Amino acid sequence: MIVMKYGGTSVQDDVAILRSIEAISRQRDLQPVIVLSAMAGATNGLLKIGDLAHQGDAEGAKAVSAKLRDHHIAVARRLLTGERLSKAEVFVNDCFCHISNIIQGLFLLGECSPRTKDAIASFGERMSSFIFAETLKERGFPGALVDSREVVKTDKNFTQAVVNQDVSFPLIRERLNPLLAAGQIPVMQGFIGSTADGVTTTIGRGGSDFSASLVGAALGVEDIQIWTDVPGILTADPRIVPKVFKIKAISFAEASELAYFGAKVLHPSTLLPAVERNIPVHVCNSMAIDQEGTFISAERIPSSTPIKSIACKKGITIVNIYSTRMLLAHGFLSRIFEAFEKYRTVVDVVSTSEVNVSLTIDSTGKLDAILAELKAFADVEVETDAAVICVVGDNLRSTPGIAGKIFGAIDNVNVRMISQGASRINVTFLVRGARMEEVVRRLHDEFFASPDPELFEPC
Ligand code: ASP
Ligand code: MG
């Protein structure tokens, strides 16, 4: 068994859907389970409808809604005929009837609860999967639509719901195993689930990769394939570095480090259910289905190139906290972190000395309140517009002199905060935002002048 997950651009129109189905047909005998995103732009459009409606712009909401409806109907018409086309048209029109009722409600109420947001957002995946399943049948494949809300059970934390795996796993198996045994191709929605009493929830933006891992873990599949619109995981952001390489194989640990620091290919927590069960994940390119993507597995892969990739992220804020008074006092660090915890602000990079703690955050919405708490016991200084650079590679731990090589390559750049994780597979540091691109390019030149061809492929 395998899971094949298609992102928004892989189901965005008839051409994309047919390409995705071609990839499925080639792996037909591996018993694929299909997990889908909404068509590209649909989730944003649906959430926009919710916003416009509760802000009083019912006309604007209806206009966005009509555009989305037309797109889904047009795609269905290009893919389906006869009975199947009528079914799809009825389904899409029904969805937009519900959406139009929701628009009315929101307009009158003047507010949009997280619960209603989830109800609206869920239509994206529900429509893409319906059309996709019908298209499979149209092409002679036994597609079987499964409503993920019946098997993916979550808490009530709408828009960010947490999946209850103990409840969901047996449900997923009970529902899917008989379909697979009967030779059918189950088609499910990513991103959505429901509470114990059946109210629709979503698990967070970009969450359908996580759904795919979850389904894969529940079924104990051999491979989870994440089909997206890039060649795989790359050695750097191709918008910054002109000559990047595709990484053929990477470990879970390395991929997770990259995901946290801005490599957009994977949702950071996507890999967890797969990692826990040692299920390999493939990132595949739905624009070029013949090419091999990136293989991610628990295994460490030896290579003569010490690093795998350079991730980076701008718009980072550094908070420097000094306290001579608290020096050597226990509880200093916990008081600092309590302030961030209280305002639910995520801290990314941390480095400390005897009298100073520096940390980084990327969302500053609650920064003033946090600073007020910190200033009660320490001097605080804030630096904005920083960029985090994260150099990742399993061989960092076994390659002597690597730090020298990294910082030697950028010797005239002012480096702020340096941190090396306990896993020793990454070196993370901060520079001024304006210098980020140059730093990434120089590091890439240094490490990828002629990378190990076993592991890296020009792209
Ligand atoms: N459609 C959802 C989103 O755009 C989920 C996903 O694509 O992963 O966030
Ligand atoms: Mg997506």
pLDDT averaged over consecutive 10-residue blocks of the chain (459 residues)?
Answer: 97 98 97 98 98 96 98 98 98 98 96 97 98 98 98 97 98 98 98 98 94 97 94 91 94 82 64 88 93 89 88 94 75 91 92 88 94 93 96 87 92 92 86 97 96 93
Q: How far apart are CA 260 and CA 309, in angstroms?
A: 13
**Closest listed ligand to the CA of 127:** 1
Please tell me the distance between residue 280's alpha carbon and the centre of ligand 1 in angstroms: 22
Q: How far apart are CA 258 and CA 265, in angstroms?
A: 9
Residue nearest to atom 6 of ligand 1 (CA): 206
Number of alpha helices (DSSP H) and beta strands (DSSP E) in the chain: 13, 18
List, as one string, the DSSP characters of 169-234: HHHHHHHHHHHHHTT-EEEEESSEEE-TT--EEE--TTTHHHHHHHHHHHHT-SEEEEEESSSSSB
Q: Is the CB of 45 under 6 A from ligand 1?
A: no
pLDDT digits (tens, 9 = 90+) for 181-236: 999 999 999 999 999 999 999 999 989 999 999 999 999 999 999 999 889 999 99
3-state secondary structure of 383: strand
Among all bound ligands, the one having the nearest atom to the CA of 35 is 1
Distance CA 120, CA 106 (A): 11
Is residue 54 a contact partner of residue 110, using CB atoms and an 8 Å limit? yes
In the reported structure, the alpha carbon of residue 122 is separated from the centroid of ligand 1 by a whole-number distance in angstroms of 10
Nearest atom in ligand 1 to the alpha carbon of residue 209 is 8
pTM: 0.87
- Does the CB atom of residue 208 touch ligand 1 within 6 A? yes
Rounded to an integer, what distance in angstroms lies between the CA atom of residue 343 and that of residue 345? 6
**pLDDT for the residue 265:** 67
Identify the H or E element spanning 148. Answer: none
State the distance from the centre of ligand 1 to the C-alpha of 149, rounded, in angstroms: 16
- 12, 43, 118, 200: which to mutate for ligand 1, most atoms within 8 A of CB? 43
3-state secondary structure of 445: helix
Per-residue tokens: 367: 């920064």
Give the closest ligand to the alpha carbon of residue 208.
1
Q: What is the pLDDT of residue 341?
A: 95
> Residue 131's closest CA among 91, 161, 171?
91
* pLDDT number for residue 19: 97
Instruction: Please identify, by atom number, the ligand 1 atom nearest to the C-alpha of residue 211.
Output: 8
Ligand 2 mean position to 268 CA, how many Å?
A: 13
Span from the CA of 447 to the centroid of ligand 1 (angstroms)? 34
